[in-house]
Amino acid sequence: MHHAVAFASDVDQGILGLLDPAHGPYVHQSWYWRSAHKLRNKEKTFEPIPNGFRMVPHTPSANSAAYKLLGVYGQPVTTTIEFVLPNQRTETIRCGKLWFTNRTTVTPIHRDLCRLDFWAAWNLFRWVPLVKPIFRAFARRFIAQDQLNAERQAIGLRHDGPSGAPMILVGDADKQARWYFELKEELTRSRRTNQPMVHPLQGPVTLRWRT
């Protein structure tokens, strides 16, 4: 399945939406999916990969309806999330021999407009009638929430810079965003100087936040 939309954002802000731990419970909150009132302390371990980083395989959050549905199979569930420059986030969920994977990219069209592409493939829930149209409907609804969030965020970002307060990235929750900017800077330096790229992660790193 593939779905693409344009939304009002520069490419960096669009990509930060893929990396922000608070994005799921606050942008995609709903009564049937996940509530911002059911937050839990999280601890995730990341490791470096070429031009990116990976959240190592782990048991997914118990406060998301999507993962609770997989309980019907009675198998352990793990999820792995990767981000790779310039713009790609991939998530793979495994439940025994069954799997679901999705890839999201954010591509700049011009300075304040991007295109978000979402692909998904799976061998889960084959016994559910019309599973592809049902999933497509959910995907469109969720991506529409991303569009609305980008439009609202753009209002505040117009005041960023010399005439307003600059964006500040602090704490573990913003660490992935800082890695993204550091990776971009290192890749640019490596190409300019023809020297090896120095990865901002030199080994596994554990981050903690509440979502």
Could you write out the DSSP letters of every residue in 114-177? Answer: EEEEEEEEE-S-TTSTTHHHHHHHHHHHHHHHHHHHHHHHHHHHTT-STTSPPP---TGGGHHH
User: 30: helix, coil or strand?
Assistant: strand
pTM of the entire structure? 0.86
**Predicted confidence band at 81 (pLDDT cuts at 50, 70, 90)?**
very high
User: 9: helix, coil or strand?
Assistant: coil
- Asked whether residue 162 carries a pLDDT value surpassing 70, the answer given is no
The CA-CA-CA angle for residues 115, 117, 118, to 5°, reads 150
User: What pLDDT shows up at residue 68?
Assistant: 67
pLDDT for 2-15, tens place per residue?
Answer: 999 998 888 999 99
* CB neighbour class for 106 (10 Å; exposed up to 12, middle 13-18, buried from 19): buried
User: 199: helix, coil or strand?
Assistant: coil
Amino acid 53 reads: F
> What is the C-alpha to C-alpha distance for residues 147 and 94, in angstroms, rounded to an integer?
29
Amino acid 46 reads: F
Boundaries of every domain in the chain: 2-194
* Residues belonging to the chain: 211
Amino acid 35 reads: S
User: 51: helix, coil or strand?
Assistant: coil
The CATH fold of domain 2-194: Naphthalene 1,2-dioxygenase Alpha Subunit; Chain A, domain 1 (3.90.380)
**Predicted confidence band at 32 (pLDDT cuts at 50, 70, 90)?**
low
- Scan for tokens 């019309």, then name that residue: 130
Encoding tokens for residue 188? 């640019």
Output 24 or 173, whichever has higher pLDDT: 173
